[in-house]
A and B are shown apart, each in its own frame.
Chain A
Amino acid sequence: MSVTEHLELIGGDFCKDSLAATLLPREGQILSAHEMNVLWELFVEIGRCWEDVVHDSANLRSSWLEFVQAKTEHEPTYVAEYSNAVSCVEELIAIYGKQNAFSLLFLRNGIPDGPPLTRLAHAKRYVVDEFIRVHVLASGFKSYGGVNYKGYIAGSRYRTRPTVRT
């Protein structure tokens, strides 16, 4: 099913740089406002690629922010992974242009199966893949006909209508 099996790894020197598979150490940095903006753009592009945003991605921003906050303010922290992903995305945009960069990253990235051993593979495994899951559980599942989904928190606790298809 994977379309990435016979593709060449995308990106430039930075994306192809080798790394251990384990979570990158934080080394004291924080996420800058610019990095947060790039990460949000990455999240929005997920909805655009799979056309599963019912209204507007901005409606999901609070869920996404809370997720990023939980991942960066508690151990093990993802700050270094997020920073790495931003650099990968910027390199991809520089090489392929914005529209192609996200499409290639999501659908034709050439990352081999197995542990993430390059910077791009880290960005995909620890950032893109997790953002995809957040995107689907926060709203994306609805575009496939669902009313509820694992991880979806449904509105008011004082509702009277069922929160699943009945």
Chain B
Amino acid sequence: MRSEFDTVIVGSGVAGITVAKQLLERNRSASILMLEAGPEVEAKNRRYWWDYVVNDRKPYAFTYDQPGENRSIGNTNYLIEGTRVNAYGGSTMHWGGWCLRYKPEDFELYSRTGEGGDWPFSYDHLEPYYCLAEEYLSVCGDASEDWMPRSKPYPRPPFYWTAADQEMIDAFEELGIKPGKMPIARYRKCMTTGTCKYCPIGARFNAQYINDELRADSRHSGFEIRCNSAASQILTRSKQSISGVRYVDAKTGDEHEVFAQTVVLASGAYEVPKLLLVSTPAEWPNGIGNDLDLVGRYVVSHSMLKVRGESVRNDEHWFQEYDFPTLMSRSYDTPEMQKDGKIFIFKNRALPNIDIAGLMIQGLSRSEIEAAVGGPRLQEVQAFLEEKGRYENRLTLAPGRNRFGLPRMKIDFNRTPAGRAAGQDRLNLLEKVIECMGYKVVYKALEDPGGHHTTGTCRMGVSPEIGVTDGDMKVHGTDNLYVCSNAAFPTGSAVNPTLTLAAMALRLGNHLASRSGGATFTQGGSDA
């Protein structure tokens, strides 16, 4: 089995595969090994899909973190179970495809508010990579919207607002909230099965498809993916020089060492800091990149705000038709809102909804089901609340390893009184939306932060005193160890991070290619 490569990438999600793809596009004979701790769960399997739509059974659910595997120890519960897929293709196996850019002020959070961090570069610097990422992920969006500066329109037209969106659009406009269309990633043309969590035809972007294509391409004979292979140590030649990675083959229990000129950690905001912390060669007794005790700190995610309302009747017989929201707004995701907490507002993707089949299964007659479909009707407005990275909030190692051979962890996340008050204030705004629709509020909550969008555990900073990685996402104090993950983000903003992650991966691919003398992307997206 081969043990020497140009590049070893830990993690097979969108970040890792995007870097690999770029390196292979510049040098088809490049040798790249990708290590994936989880198994390969087949996408586009018809039986899996039928089980999903008929029995609500997700084929990758067994790879979710299980209760008891990790611990939340702060004053606010940090939800981990069900938030990430530990499998080939990573969390793009279950994501909804929402693709939102961060805004210029998100790159200057500390300068503007005295909280969180600043990025080592501006939005303008990343903007060309956002354009590339939107093309790469085939984002469907509304080019006429002006939420932030953009040099290119979206590559695909947006999805329509649904009829059920209209009453919330009217409420938005009455309250001065500008409605917008949700930008959604599509790999091939969507046939709207309403099942983005497991698409039977591969329409929603999934990193697994890129992995498969690269593996199947005979020009890339040096590209290899090893699943069920959990990285357990980063290996060093000296303090600055990383030599490779040790991993455990879960099927045999055997340990292997692989060596590379460059190592890229692309295994997400939990596994990247964990791998750095468990790697304690003599030169790095506190973990690689952790001389200043910053690895794992500044952990943030989004907290979800929800206000649900009920109307008496559903004369239009509206029910959920897509499996993703089409209505959103960034009117409270602005520089003015940054100090007190930005929110990204969107309509609940699953409401209104009537489980017609469920009523039939209960034995209700046609007329009884007609009555149920006709009312009452539920609608819900939701928002992600930006949490700001704080030194005290951190991820640390817990004793033992999980089913995949990955270290267990503890997350110490504490919400401040000011943060709680900001959440309540924003919740009151959402309540006005529901009331403005003429609905009776039946549920209102600032929920616990969910690990879906965790960022900040190995944040970038211009110096080692500020961040674990530099502006190129290279670990400070090393020559050839990179982080390609949400972990490197100094801020989480109020929106989903995946588009920004893809942009950062494209940028890193550009950097690594130029470092090795390869061609680089132009802003037009073609090889120079």
Contacts and interface: CB of A to CB of B under 8 A. Distances in A.
Interface string B336-368: 000000000000000000101101111111101
A33 interface: no
Contacts of B50: 67, 70-71, 134
Nearest to B46: A70
Most buried by B among A71, A109, A151: A151
B194 A152 contact: yes
A58 interface: no
A101 to B, nearest CB: 15
B226 interface: no
Interface string A36-56: 000000000010011110000
A153 B319 contact: no
Interface in A69-99: 70-71, 73-74
B53 to A, nearest CB: 4
A166 B194 CA distance: 15
B194 A150 contact: yes
A164 B163 CA distance: 8
Interface stretch (B88-96, B185-193, B405-413, B489-497): B185-193
B195 A3 contact: no
Interface string B311-327: 00000111111110000
Given A4-B363, A107-B365, A149 B46 contact: no
A133 B357 contact: yes
Nearest to B201: A153
A132 interface: yes
A136 interface: yes
B47 A2 contact: no
Contact of A149 (B188, B321, B365): B321
A150 B195 contact: yes
Contact of A150 (B161, B201, B323, B368): B323
Contacts of A107: 363, 365
Interface stretch (A12-20, A24-32, A115-123, A138-146): A138-146
B319 A151 contact: no
Given A147-B321, A153-B191, A164-B192, A137 B53 contact: yes
A151 B201 CA distance: 12
A34 interface: no
Given A52-B366, A130-B54, A164-B322, A141 B316 contact: no
A89 to B, nearest CB: 17
Interface in B343-400: 354, 356-357, 359-366, 368-370, 373
A144 B356 contact: yes
Interface in B26-83: 46-47, 50, 53-55
B55 to A, nearest CB: 7
B441 interface: no
Given A50-B366, A166-B161, A70 B47 contact: yes
A36 to B, nearest CB: 17
Most buried by A among B194, B195, B200: B194
Most buried by A among B160, B357, B361, B363: B357
A146 B194 CA distance: 12
A104 to B, nearest CB: 10
Most buried by B among A74, A108, A145, A150: A150
Contacts of B200: 153
Nearest to A137: B53
B193 A152 contact: yes
Contacts of A144: 317, 319, 354, 356, 369-370, 373
B446 to A, nearest CB: 28
A136 B368 CA distance: 16
Contacts of A59: none
Nearest to A50: B366
B462 interface: no
Contacts of B192: 148, 152-154, 163-164
B361 A132 contact: yes
Contact of B54 (A133, A162, A164): A133
A146 B321 contact: yes
Nearest to A105: B363
Nearest to B203: A157
Contacts of B370: 144
B318 A165 contact: yes
Contacts of B522: none
Contact of B317 (A1, A46, A145, A166): A145
A50 B192 CA distance: 25
Given A148-B194, A157-B189, A164-B162, A71 B364 contact: no
Given A4-B363, A70-B50, A136 B356 contact: yes
Contacts of B323: 150
Contacts of A74: 47
A120 to B, nearest CB: 14
Contacts of B361: 128-129, 132-133
A140 to B, nearest CB: 7
A135 B24 CA distance: 46
Nearest to B166: A166
A129 to B, nearest CB: 5
Interface in B139-163: 160-163
B118 to A, nearest CB: 42
B164 interface: yes
Contacts of A136: 356-357, 360
A152 B55 CA distance: 15
Given A4-B363, A164-B163, 15 more contacts: A1-B364, A3-B363, A46-B360, A52-B366, A129-B361, A133-B54, A140-B356, A145-B318, A146-B321, A152-B193, A153-B191, A157-B190, A158-B189, A165-B318, A166-B161
Interface of B: 46-47, 50, 53-55, 160-164, 188-195, 200-201, 316-323, 354, 356-357, 359-366, 368-370, 373
Interface of A: 1-4, 46, 49-52, 66-67, 70-71, 73-74, 106-109, 128-130, 132-137, 140-141, 144-155, 157-158, 162-166
10 smallest beta-carbon distances between A and B, as pairs: A151-B53, A145-B317, A148-B321, A165-B163, A150-B194, A164-B321, A136-B357, A74-B47, A70-B47, A157-B189
